[in-house]
Amino acid sequence: MNGVLVVDKPAGMTSHDVVNRVRRILGVRSVGHLGTLDPSATGVLPIVVGSFTRLAQFYLHSEKKYEGMIRFGFATSTYDAEGEATTTPQDVALDLGQVRAIAAEFQGVLRQTPPPFSAKKIAGVPAYKMARKQLAVALRPVEVEVKEFEILDVAGDRVTFRAWVGSGTYMRSIAHEMGVKLGCGAHLAELQRTAVAEFVVEDAHTLEELESFRGESLAKELPAERWSLERQGSLQHVFVHPRKLLSQIPCVTATEETAALLRTGRAANLPEMSRAPLVKVFLGQRELIAIGERIAGTLFHPKIVFGSCD
């Protein structure tokens, strides 16, 4: 079973928890994800299955989109609602214009210090492990990009927003720093990831939905030798169509002869692709067999070869 599906991650689960749950639902060991999502956050978590786990290298620097809420009045140790208050709570009267003016300062390329409770490593140790032991966490600022940061509304001490950011950007840090600028403290109260690269929340499935699809397949009481194929067929509609993956890379449909060359690690000629540095190679409409890398003219060498879907 090879493919990519989009899970709508619930609050309270780590990304690793979701991967383990999908392993059990699909009965497949080779499962991973494309970008960690904080346990308290919800939304888009792309899951890669089977040989498609090899696609992860192409999504290391994917842009993300979020919607969420920032609460002003006090800061927390984790920069979100899960942590303990680190400043004295105070009443605040927010002005929409003022908040939008401050939000504008967080757009563009900026230096951002990750939260102390994060997966960023210090001398090989995740920062959150040190923070839990109340050890000093000294994380260096890193360069991130905030393409859009729109304040949608202000209600009492809470602000709703929509953001589009580059890889490595922490919305928790932005919330915390906005509280510093306003002098009243703030933390990220809610966060939903609505998109990662080409994966969007409208295409996401809950874990309960995946369980129900699996249940429908199990109810057919098929012989063991037919279980794997039938399960893959019954779940095919929850997987993203392979031609929609890595939308920035063009597709080409190979002949059986060309496919045989690429599958055995040999270079093949793809006459239609004289300019593209990379190409997705398909056999038929759905079977992604390789990512080819151009080595000269229209000659491509397989950078990644995927296992057969049968």
Q: How many CB atoms lie within 10 A of CB 257?
A: 8
Give the residue from 250, 232, 258 showing the smallest Cα distance to 310. Answer: 232
- List residues with catalytic annotation: 38
| Strands 186-196 vs 42-49: parallel, antiparallel or unpaired | parallel
CA 161, 166, 167, 173 torsion-angle sign: negative
> Going by C-beta distance under 8 Å and a sequence separation of 6 or more, which residues neighbour residue 250?
273, 276, 279, 280
- Residue pointed to by tokens 């003022």: 98
E strand intervals along 115-201: 121-122, 125-126, 142-155, 158-165, 186-196, 199-200
Please provide residue 144's backbone torsions phi and psi, each rounded to the nearest 5 degrees.
-130, 170
91: DSSP letter: -
